[in-house]
Amino acid sequence: MKARRIKNTMRTMGTMRTMLWCTVMAATILVAASPAALARGGLEGVKIFIDPGHGGPEPGAIGPSGLRESDVNLRVATALRNCLVEYGGATVMMSRTGDVDVSLAGRTAAANQWGADRFISVHHNASYNQSYNATETYAYTYAGATALDLRDKVHASMVSGLGLPDGGVHTANFYVLRTAWMPAILTEASYISNPYQEARLKDMGYTWREGYYIYLGIANHFGVAP
């Protein structure tokens, strides 16, 4: 019984730390950047599947100083999860919560079996032109109106909040978009190959803000007004 009480206490403290972290970071954003106010509630009962791209032996793109896309994807996805749960009241599942290898088929299979309402795959792009940087967002080539609306609203929120050049919204035949049974999008919020952007992506506050703006776009998609 004593061990159980200790575990419960630790779990409660962990939840409180997460809520405090989200609140402090959101307050920092509101003071420094004056974005839209926080959306509160409204996503209760909505099941969001978040897929941090790459992981394990597959690092994805590598920044000029060695920053791994897979690590950045996970940090942004974790921030997004925390915001969806704490601010929106959504139910969230992630394809990975650590630096592990998950097959593309395994990612969408988990989302499909869980019965997710939306699928969000978090990525960061790269280019041989290191001066290039932009925000881009994708839906499946033959996506329906719901997925296109999700893509457009998340993209607009990221462009407005992060202030990077608008690389546009696109459609593509990416595996995770093609095989997800629910409306699905893939974000490429910035280019890790850009040295200045890579430095930004090393900052925990910046990656939290990215997750926060993705969250605001999702909330807007569901009609949850900030």
Question: Span 141-151, mean pLDDT?
Answer: 99
Distance CA 24, CA 150 (A): 27
Domain residue spans in the chain? 39-221
- Tens of pLDDT, residue by residue over 59-100, are 999 999 999 999 999 999 999 999 999 999 999 999 999 999
Q: Which parts of the chain fold into alpha helices (H)?
A: 2-33, 69-83, 104-114, 145-162, 175-179, 195-201, 204-221
Active-site hit among 136, 188, 198, 210: 188
Distance CA 118, CA 124 (A): 20
| Residue 96, token pair as written in the block | 């990975």
Q: What are phi and psi of 91, to 5 degrees?
A: -100, 130
- Helix, strand or coil, per DSSP, at residue 114: helix
Q: Are 56 and 49 in contact (CB under 8 A)?
A: no
Q: Which parts of 104-203 fold into alpha helices (H)?
A: 104-114, 145-162, 175-179, 195-201
Is 69 one of the annotated active-site residues of the chain? no
Question: For 39-221, which CATH superfamily applies?
Answer: Zn-dependent exopeptidases (3.40.630.40)
Using only the alpha carbons of the chain, give its radius of gyration. 17
| Residue 220, token pair as written in the block | 């807007």
- Tens of pLDDT, residue by residue over 150-197, are 999 999 999 999 999 999 999 999 999 999 999 999 999 999 999 999
Pick from 191, 65, 183, 29: nearest CA to 116: 183
| pLDDT (0 to 100) of residue 25 | 52
Q: Is residue 105 scored above 70 in pLDDT?
A: yes
Distance CA 42, CA 108 (A): 25
Distance CA 19, CA 49 (A): 20
Q: Are 177 and 139 in contact (CB under 8 A)?
A: yes
